[in-house]
Structure 1
């Protein structure tokens, strides 16, 4: 069995990706759940990306072929949305467009679990979810309590590594300390704030930001780590001036806009 290599992701690497995102303003197609569309679009705009909620069957594949990146989030799912997602993911794979799979609440419900597992055949660039979702997607767990994880990120590392080897992409597991793996490479991203867990759509928006970063950075592990670091630093700053969920959500979006490449470049101690 090969030894696990600890990835050396530096603040300077992350700063470079952040600068590229602002410079290139990637166009991110979001096939996401109806609960989070507004905050997802606002997070992408604040970060410097361009959101496009093109999620219908006639257009999803065509748009995926020309977008900078695609997000597929299975949060509110029906048969029509599932078809549009499959078409977009297949078109993204065929055209070389990076795409992110967010397996929301996978494990507890058979339909969404089957849809998400079927989407793996299209080789997502990044899978991003909480520990319970990643375990369930890999066939190593039964899922969490709805969208909430009942497992810690470290418990899902081996399942994440298995998924990464199967898809060829990175897998990002959110938790008290986020873990991102790509094959045998691993990076941990510290920080953030508990108020993110009380903000509707924060995790889903993180998936969109991972897609935006993947649209400007070829290394999926670095792209995912950059998005996680950006979200964490912005949350810490927002929490200093907003102590409750409503005001925090607004402050967090403001801080996502304010955090720039030099901020992330000087953010030492974030990665392990």
Structure 2
């Protein structure tokens, strides 16, 4: 018997943004050191409450207090690897949703092996660019693997075991600001905290950051002013903005 899937559209994104704003989920971000402030500001702007510690001695406590977790492999050293292992174990044991961002796993065999190990611990989502996701070679919905596999780019593609979605929002200036992709992972984590369907949550989150980028770009003079405008728009973005501008498509439709 085939189970009918609910449609995924701008209305879903609008409702989930409103839910994030209302619930203000705590998101623990094991983020690369280059973009920590930008990501913390972005999570706050969208309506979440970020925490950022990567101390192995403290991370378990912070993850237990959080509603979701985002793991980013951008600046990976022995101490951060150990903290990530602790955080992932706590999230799995506590049943908290979490996402893996396998930054540059296509560059390093050791990083690729670690990314694969994390991806088979049952995260809600794994999100990366085309090269990273090709290197990982993941399939959504397999036992132990992620519920949704997300490949971001000019068009974001989100694959689950039952559905393929596309999010077509965004702007080329996003590529000129270090951390927009990392922030997208953290925003997905915020949406995962309020929506159990990982694919719906991720699509709504990517539409949110994409629409914010589109609205911020016209007034920007370059990447620096765009980064500031992007955060400003993200903080003021309304569900009505998503109803009007979000472009989410189901490939089966």
TM-score (norm 1): 0.86
* CA distances 1:66-112 after superposition (whole Å, capped 9, x unpaired): 21100100000011111110110111011011001000000221221
Cα 1:53–1:263 shift into 2, 3 Å? same
Cα distance in 1 for partners of 2:6, 2:141 equals 15
Q: CA RMSD in A?
A: 1.7
Equivalent pair of 1:69/1:98 in contact (CA under 8 Å): yes
Q: Is 2:140–2:160's contact at 8 Å kept on the other side of the alignment?
A: no
Following TM superposition, where does structure 1 have runs of at least 4 consecutive aligned residues deviating by more than 6 angstroms? none
Name the SS of the counterpart of 2:126 in structure 1: strand
Residue 225 of structure 1 aligns to a residue whose secondary structure is helix
Residues 7 and 185 in structure 1, CA contact (< 8 A), matched pair in contact too: no
Retained in 1: the 8 A contact 2:169–2:247?
no
Q: Deviations over 1:4-28 (max 9, x none)?
A: x997312111111101100011100
Q: The residue matched to 1:271 in structure 2 has which SS?
A: strand
Residue number in structure 2 paired with 1:96: 95
Aligned to 2:203: 225
2:192 corresponds, among 200, 214, 224, to: 214
In the superposition, relative to structure 1, how do residues 258 and 231 fare at CA in structure 2: closer, same or farther (>3 Å)? Answer: same
* Alignment match of 1:183 (pick from 161, 164, 188): 161
CA offset at residue 170 of structure 1? 1.0
Q: Give CA deviations for 1:117-148 in whole Å, capped at 9, x if unaligned.
A: 1112321111111111111122xxxxxxxxxx
> TM-score normalized by structure 2?
0.93
Specify every segment of 5 or more residues in structure 1 that has no aligned partner in the other structure, as ranges. 139-158
